[in-house]
Amino acid sequence: VAKVLEECSGGAATDEERAALQLWASLVRATDIVRASLSAELAPRCGLAPEDIELLTRLSEAPEQRLRMADVSRSLLLSKSGATRLIDRLAERGLVERAACPSDRRVVYASLTSGGREALREAGPALRAGLVAHLGRHLGAHEAEAVRAALDRILTGEGAGV
């Protein structure tokens, strides 16, 4: 990608621009490919997409195992309506359920059901195995740690609220 832009899209790329371009290309490709592999392996195994597991996980760690809809959207980097629809889908499958909040009647909680806990118990090990196979296997321990540290620096620099 970089070599291309450097010559074709306006010329005059600096070294810094070239480096950023290459880094971006690798970043996007790596996440896309690993995501695709994970989805393909997880779907037949447990019928859940990686994003579904991510949601169930966030719920399982939350106090009372539930989250306000707005927090679902924020923590998953999803629009408000995206959160509504995600919870719709998982609620239909019995993995989460909606609950009213007594103290503020505007908020709706999404809470983990026992079925959701069960699904997560099965999906968790599969997800972890997939991540080790597709990600960890190719990197040494402190190399992985170094990459994570660099990415986290970008995240905090860009103002990501964990």
- DSSP secondary structure letters along 111-139: EE-HHHHHHHHHHHHHHHHHHHHHTGGGS
Q: Report in angstroms how near the CB of residue 105 gets to a second copy at its nearest.
A: 29
24/32 Cα distance (integer angstroms): 12
* Residue 161 CA neighbour count, 13 Å, CB half: 7
- Of residues 161, 155, 142, 2, the one with CA closest to residue 73: 161
Q: Which one of 28, 29, 31, 79 is in contact with DNA (CB under 7 A)?
A: 79
Instruction: Please tell me whether residue 21 binds DNA under the rule CB under 7 A.
Output: no
Instruction: Please tell me whether residue 81 binds DNA under the rule CB under 7 A.
Output: yes
Q: Report in angstroms how near the CB of residue 48 gets to a second copy at its nearest.
A: 11
Q: Which of residues 91-130 bind DNA (CB under 7 A)?
A: 98, 104-109
Residues of this chain that bind DNA (CB under 7 A): 51, 68-71, 78-89, 98, 104-109
